Amino acid sequence: MADSRMTVYLQPKVYRALKVKSATTDRSVSELVNAAVIEALREDAIDLDAFDKRSKESTRPFEQVLKDLKRDGLL
């Protein structure tokens, strides 16, 4: 599959920082952007996995948490 092209608009300071990082790491801007997107997607996958694993855990209403903190003198 061929690489896809797209236009991304970055804030000028972000773009300058990306260009500096590209120059100092000998990696292209495309490589850096791809790596950042892949990492963000990986983090999302980890979060979804954790959510699935914890979805069957019992929950406590926030109001009860506050009540317990007050009872224990922490609030």
What span, in angstroms and rounded, lies between the C-alpha atoms of 47 and 42? 9
**Residue 67, token pair as written in the block:** 């009540």
What span, in angstroms and rounded, lies between the C-alpha atoms of 42 and 39? 5
pLDDT confidence of residue 38: 98
Under DSSP, the state recorded for 4 is: P
Q: Residues 46-70: pLDDT tens digits?
A: 999 999 999 988 889 999 999 999 9
Q: What is the average per-residue pLDDT within 28-35?
A: 97
Under DSSP, the state recorded for 57 is: S
The band of 34, judged by pLDDT with boundaries at 50, 70 and 90, is very high
Under DSSP, the state recorded for 16 is: H
Domain ranges of the chain: 30-75
* 3-class DSSP assignment, residue 35: helix
Q: Express as a percent the part of the chain with pLDDT over 90.
A: 88
Asked if residue 2 has pLDDT above 90, the reply is: no
